Chains A and B, each alone.
Chain A
Amino acid sequence: GENVEQHPSTLSVQEGDSAVIKCTYSDSASNYFPWYKQELGKRPQLIIDIRSNVGEKKDQRIAVTLNKTAKHFSLHITETQPEDSAVYFCALFGFQKLVFGTGTRLLVSP
C-alpha cells in the first residue's frame, strides 16, 4: 500500500519564526493531501487540504505546497504563535485509502 514519510518528527521554533513540515510519498496516483492538527489531549482537526490539480493553497498564516513531480508536499506556518504548538499529521489519499504520516511535534516558544 501507499506509504508517506513525514519529517521532522519534532520541531522547535521561536514565536514569530516560520515552520515547515514535509511529507514524501511514492504513489503518483495520490490526489488528495490534507493536514491535521492535534493539540495535546484533543482530537485531530483538519487545518488545510490540497488536491492534485493545485500547486499551492493558503489560509491566513498556513499554506500547503504540492510538488507532484518530486512527490512531496509541505505545510508552512508563518509568524508562529504559542497556540500553534501541537502535533501535525500529513495524510494522503491513495490506493483508495487515506494514509497518515507519523506526525510532527511542533513546539513554539514565547
Chain B
Amino acid sequence: SQTIHQWPATLVQPVGSPLSLECTVEGTSNPNLYWYRQAAGRGLQLLFYSVGIGQISSEVPQNLSASRPQDRQFILSSKKLLLSDSGFYLCAWSVHLTLEAFFGQGTRLTVV
C-alpha cells in the first residue's frame, strides 16, 4: 500500500536560520507531489508542485524553494527564514489514474 511520510511534525526555528522539510512517498512510482501551506481562513495555499524528478513549478513568489532529488522525495527549503514563514505545511501526492491526493501529517513551523 502507498504511504506518505512527512517530518518533522513540529519545528521551531530562529529568524534567519535555514529550513529543510522532507516528504517521501512509498508504494508508488512517478507520483505528482505537492507542498501546501494551510492557514486559518485562507485554506490550502499551493506553494509548489512537481510532475517528475527535477521538475518544480512555483505558485507563489516567496522565501521558499522546493526540490525533487528522487522520484518519491520532495523537499521544501529556505536559506533564511522569516517570521512570516510560520505556518502549517502539508505535503501531498496524487495518483495519475484516479487523481486522488493523499496528504502527510503536516509540519507546524514556528519561526521565532
Do A and B come together as binding partners? no
Q: Which residues of B contact A (CB under 8 A)?
A: none
